Structure 1
């Protein structure tokens, strides 16, 4: 706005000098732009916002891709570790069996419904688990 004011003052002073008029000061009280200029500014703002939105979408997609890769790597490592634990220690499988039974019994106990099941249906036949390497009959 200051540049526009200076430029207007310069032009008016030069034109007034042609008519032997000396200008001391020029004040701009109202300034408006043409419709085309206003529309061009609005269009530029809209384009800038669209560009920022597109940039955000691209960055979000890249972050989603990175998180999917990291999640897949973590799941692969988890599966590998579980496989090694099962192969090297049969008690690990018994522990997972107990954890599953605890989770199932907790879900059923917190339910508002009444459920009657025997221990085999709940995976609670824990006496038959093979922890020490010798098999017991079911």
Structure 2
């Protein structure tokens, strides 16, 4: 024998609520929902045999175990990743402290190279000589 419990969460259509209350009263949900819920539950359960109803909870339990195990692995991976990032930040901090601002300057140069390479590939970029006013060929004194 299989025992099932049904919980129904419902919200009536607000436009039809006055009609529902007039016809069925304030306890409309206690009058209508149990009978409809039981009929729908019986119709759904009738589509399955007893073996399916018994094996599905076992499969669901295995699936839940897998989800928990996967979440635990993801948590461990996040911890390891955070520890690695912390170690990398400490190494950079130590290198900056011992070598001065050279590492930061190196990173700026590398970033500038990447920006220059990106701009060089763009067809909308024009290079103009600095310090000259090219509009109307006026010198800087005017």
TM-score by length of 2: 0.50
1:57-94 C-alpha deviation (Å, 9 max, x unpaired):
10111011001100110111011000011111132222
| Match of residue 25 from structure 2 | none
CA-based RMSD: 2.8
Q: Is the 8 A contact 1:108 1:115 kept in 2?
A: no
Residue 67 of structure 1: SS of its match in structure 2?
A: helix
1:94-124 C-alpha deviation (Å, 9 max, x unpaired):
21111111222233334454366999xxxxx
| Match of residue 83 from structure 2 | 73
| Match of residue 105 from structure 1 | 116
Answering whether residue 51 of structure 2 is matched by residue 45 of structure 1, we say: no
Structure label with greater radius of gyration: 1
Q: How does 1:1-138 map to 2 (within 5 A)?
A: 39-90=49-100, 91-111=102-122, 113-114=124-125
The number of equivalent residue pairs is 84
1:4-57 C-alpha deviation (Å, 9 max, x unpaired):
xxxxxxxxxxxxxxxxxxxxxxxxxxxxxxxx9x72210122112211211111
Which segments of 5 or more consecutive residues in structure 2 lack a partner in the other structure? Answer: 1-45, 131-142
Partners of 1:69 and 1:52 in 2: CA distance: 26
Q: Which moved more, 1:38-47 or 1:67-76?
A: 38-47
Which segments of 5 or more consecutive residues in structure 1 lack a partner in the other structure? Answer: 1-35, 120-138
Q: Which moved more, 1:45-54 or 1:102-111?
A: 102-111
Partners of 2:107 and 2:66 in 1: CA distance: 43
Partners of 1:118 and 1:85 in 2: CA distance: 38
